[in-house]
Chains A and B, each alone.
Chain A
Amino acid sequence: MTLAALDAQTLADAVGLGAVYALMAVGIGLVFGVLRLVNFAYGQLIMVGAYTLAFTSEWPVAASIGACFIVVLALSFVMDRAVFRPLRTQSPAIMLVTTFAIAFVLQAVALLVDIRDGTIGESAVSIAPLNQAIAIGGVDVRKVTIVAVAVAAGTLGLLALLLARTTIGLHMRAAAVDFRTARLLGVRANRVIGFAVLLSGVLAAAVAVILTVQFPLVSPDFALRDTIVVLVGVVVGGIDRLWTATLGGFTIGFATGVINGALPTEETVFLPSAVFALVILVLLLRPAGLFARGGGAAVERV
């Protein structure tokens, strides 16, 4: 394989990863917009979706994917009712720690369920064929990469339309700018928040399918690492706006893909340190986010 081909290969994979992370960033950013809540348990939603795929891998593929969406949406709904709604008036720190706890619970439950057969990890074999590669101009592009990019582009387009053209979209944007005023003007809080949480659930289910195709072995810490990376990307990009958050998610996914593809393993042992040092630097220099315009009045600094 020539160097040029390797580069194109790395880039193709990096774009695929960036697309998945962008979807996750949208899911996190939507909920943050209306609730000011960083949902740390987002990765566990994806994990539950992946387990659903693994446990239904005997079923027809369409039914299995359908089950994944249903379970993830149901869990999102329960989370909204049982956790987010009672916490709405609390400080962001309390909400963050709570989702931390929820994430922990879901992961522990997954471990309990998974360990029953004596081994950790379940495999979702039925949807693995999507992982086959097709060659485009000497570059092996996996089908799922194409699916990921298409789903990401399609979802972002639909979301843009939804936010710009529909009443509920208008309500969500209003709630994201100033929740209290929006409520005074007749925006129904529960409806807007519930809708945002469900939308982010749909995205989580889609990400679950895409990730499971690529990594069919599902374990309790499935997508945990990805969620942490995406959260970092979202904050670095600028969490106050959906587009900057999405761009942040895509950028960090793309960068991770390129770096992992380009550097041999023994040279990447201190890579996490370098990346997180960079994150700290960005937060110090541009606390509102790398892609945010202007100073950003919402940022507290002392």
Chain B
Amino acid sequence: MTRRVDATVQLLGPAAVVVAVGIATTFVSPSTRIYFLNALVSVAIVVAIYVFVGNSGVLSFGQISFVAVGAFAAGVMTIPLESKTGVLPDLFPLLRDHTIGNVSSLLLAAAAGGVVAFLVGLPLMRLSGLAAGIATFAVLEITHNVLREWTKIGPGPTALSLVPETTDALQATVGALVVIAAAFLYQRSRLGRQLRASREDPAAAQGVGISVHRQRLWAFTLSGALAGFSGGLLVHLLVISTEQVYLELTFVTLAMLVVGGVTSLWGAVLGALLVSGLDSFLSEAEDGVKVGLTLDLPDGTRLVILGLLMALVLIVRPSGVTGGRELRIPRLARTVRA
């Protein structure tokens, strides 16, 4: 019984916070709305990263490549036919002559992210530690390089314009909820538990018959699919180019995950929302805001404060603000029994 309550809280807690942000989005002014929508898409991206990094304990700098793949797949396929040949003349005929709807583009983004992640993960998931970090970083570099230079599959170095801006409060909220639900179901499944066991002790996990490679590959693929899906949400929100889905996004999303707490879904959601909130506040403050007294920070302060915050959390509390634990209701009975 208590287990079921725990599970419900673990899912409903993060979901409720996301829904609250989604509802708040509809009440704020249009200029502030973009920050809220951004925060919701950040939740989706960070939870997607968490599915692999949090459950496996293997550091990856490469998950943003799947966000990029999803974003470009969804973006290129939803530009209206009549303007496509004009803006992207070099595309392959198959891509140039077809256009799909909004929801199917998100599904396509998820599929593209998942397939690429699976293919990349097949060899890469044998690596651990530093080698895994460098190899996944190499994946990010390759994705960035190919998307930037190959104009047959996308816009190349220019921004992807004319993509319908369909990510509104409803879509962003539902999108984030879908990703959270997928992450929740995965981490409570047999596969997820096997992977978490291998995170705590790889040797013992292998000893009881868990194939660490296979479990990591499943998580990597799911994470890639969710990241691709989030990329789809992102491309329908902002006009993006390859530079927006590269090093800085990698840094910011990792900062969110670390600040929240790498090993829990609750940490991923909370970290994404807290850091996005602070980030939005600071970028407003760079233009000057009034909070009691007028605050006007010089440009660039935002990045300094975000970086310092991340470093501070890592040094003082490496397990993040949630301590890497899931949300649960404090119960007296538990302390008594202990």
Contact = CB atoms under 8 A, between A and B. Distances in A.
Interface string B125-160: 111111101110111011001100100000000000
Interface string B298-311: 11110110111011
A280 B315 CA distance: 31
Given A105-B308, A302-B213, A276 B142 contact: yes
A231 interface: yes
Contacts of A283: 127, 131, 134-135, 138
B300 A105 contact: no
Interface stretch (B37-45, B95-103, B174-182, B250-258): B250-258
A90 B149 CA distance: 39
B134 A300 contact: no
A61 interface: no
B134 A279 contact: yes
A272 B145 contact: yes
Interface residues of A, dominant DSSP = helix
B138 A277 contact: yes
B216 to A, nearest CB: 7
Interface in A219-251: 228, 231-232, 235, 239
A235 B130 CA distance: 8
B292 to A, nearest CB: 24
A182 to B, nearest CB: 21
Given A284-B126, A301-B126, A302-B206, A97 B314 contact: yes
Interface in B181-228: 198, 202, 206, 212-213, 216
Interface stretch (A3-11, A108-116, A161-169, A192-200): A108-116
Given A280-B139, A287-B131, A302-B206, A112 B301 contact: yes
Contact of B315 (A83, A92, A93, A302): A83
A105 to B, nearest CB: 4
Contact of B310 (A101, A112, A276): A101
Interface string A274-302: 00110110011001000000000001111
Given A108-B300, A280-B138, A300-B202, A102 B311 contact: yes
A215 interface: no
A153 to B, nearest CB: 28
Q: Which of B142, B213, B216 has the most CB of A within 10 A?
A: B142
Contacts of B134: 231-232, 235, 279, 283
Given A90-B318, A277-B138, A100 B254 contact: yes
B209 to A, nearest CB: 14
B304 A232 contact: no
B117 interface: no
A239 to B, nearest CB: 7
Q: Which of B134, B212, B308, B315 has the most CB of A within 10 A?
A: B134
Contacts of A90: 314, 318
A279 B202 contact: no
A302 B310 CA distance: 31
B267 to A, nearest CB: 14
Contacts of B311: 83, 98, 101-102, 105
A102 B149 CA distance: 31
Contacts of B304: 105, 108-109, 112
Given A276-B141, A280-B139, A104 B307 contact: yes
A83 B314 CA distance: 9
A293 to B, nearest CB: 17
A287 B124 CA distance: 11
A43 to B, nearest CB: 13
Contact of A277 (B129, B142, B255): B142
Interface string A21-49: 00000000000000000100000000000
Interface of A: 38, 82-83, 86-87, 90, 92-94, 96-98, 100-102, 104-105, 107-109, 111-112, 115, 228, 231-232, 235, 239, 269-270, 272-273, 276-277, 279-280, 283-284, 287, 299-302
Pairs of residues from A and B, 10 with the lowest C-beta to C-beta distance, nearest first: A105-B307, A108-B303, A276-B138, A104-B307, A302-B212, A300-B128, A101-B311, A101-B310, A108-B304, A93-B59
25 contacts: A38-B133, A86-B315, A92-B130, A97-B258, A101-B255, A101-B314, A102-B311, A104-B251, A104-B306, A105-B303, A105-B311, A108-B304, A108-B307, A112-B299, A115-B299, A239-B130, A272-B141, A273-B146, A276-B141, A279-B134, A283-B138, A299-B131, A300-B128, A302-B125, A302-B212
Given A38-B130, A82-B315, A302-B206, 18 more contacts: A87-B318, A92-B129, A93-B59, A96-B59, A98-B315, A101-B308, A105-B308, A108-B300, A269-B145, A270-B145, A270-B146, A276-B138, A277-B138, A277-B142, A280-B123, A284-B127, A284-B135, A287-B127
